[in-house]
Amino acid sequence: MTNTQTLPSSLAGRSVVIFGGTSGIGLAAAIQAKAAGAKVIVIGSNAARAEQAANSHGLDGWRAADVTDNDAVEAALSDIPVVDHLVLLAGTFVAGTVLTAEVEYLHRAFDERIWAAISAIRALGDKLAKDGSITFISGSLADRPNAYGTAVLAAASAAMEALARGLALELAPIRVNTLSPGPINTPILGKALGEGRDGFVASLEQILPLHRLGTSEEAGSAAVFLMTNTFMNGAVLNIDGGARLV
């Protein structure tokens, strides 16, 4: 007899809250979760963009909050009665060398990830469903840092994975996992690379095993997988097209 507890669960009627859900991977995950029957609320830093994302895709609500502002995070979550799946994908590309960048700026790598996650989890408290999940985001820098001013961001990404493993035990039976995207074609890539984006992407595509970047939809579906597979816990899901192998 099949043990249904190990099968993927339905998102129908479940409450999904996605920080960073107004563009890129977060928006793709929101659209897919909604299509699967979930009630989806997206939270972004820009109110107009959040409202447009929700209205354009028939989502169930939106909020605007600076994830580094604990009071703003609490206010954004205050009227949501229950959250089955909390997805925390917010965060900017914090790049600057340790010797030259403003320390306050470098703090954002941790503030937007570690402390924002803690703020959201504490704000929800018992409103987090015991049979639900929390999904963090890290990135390939956690495994493969580089010499181009990303040391602190790499540290914050690795810290997210460690935090998820600890919380998988501390918050059990709530499942806690981390999505680790590699080269994904999202708006944040353009912001990080500026005018050099096209040249960088072209050279990267030559060395990647699949000779292309991933899409927001592909990474978004991985986030949905972490929500729905009830035996994924304390894990890091790499979605990088094999980029970490080269």
Element (H, E) at 42: strand 39-44
How buried is 118 (Cβ within 10 angstroms: 0-12 exposed, 13-18 middle, 19+ buried)?
middle
Cα 103 to Cα 107, 164, 196: the distances in Å are 6, 26, 26
pLDDT of amino acid 1: 46
Type of residue numbered 29: A
pLDDT bin (cut points 50, 70, 90) of residue 186 is confident
Closest listed residue to residue 109, CA positions, set 69, 77, 157: 157
Is pTM beyond 0.75? Reply is yes
pLDDT of amino acid 5: 53
Other Cβ atoms closer than 10 A to 204: 14
How far is 9 from 72, CA to CA, in rounded Å? Answer: 31
Q: Where do the domains of the chain lie, and which CATH numbers do they carry?
A: 9-235 (3.40.50.720)
Query: Percentage of residues in the chain with pLDDT exceeding 90?
Result: 88
What is the average per-residue pLDDT within 33-47? 98
Task: Check: CB of residue 224 under 8 Å from CB of residue 11.
Answer: yes
- Does the pLDDT at position 59 exceed 60? yes
Between helix 24-35 and helix 216-228 the angle, nearest 10°, is 50
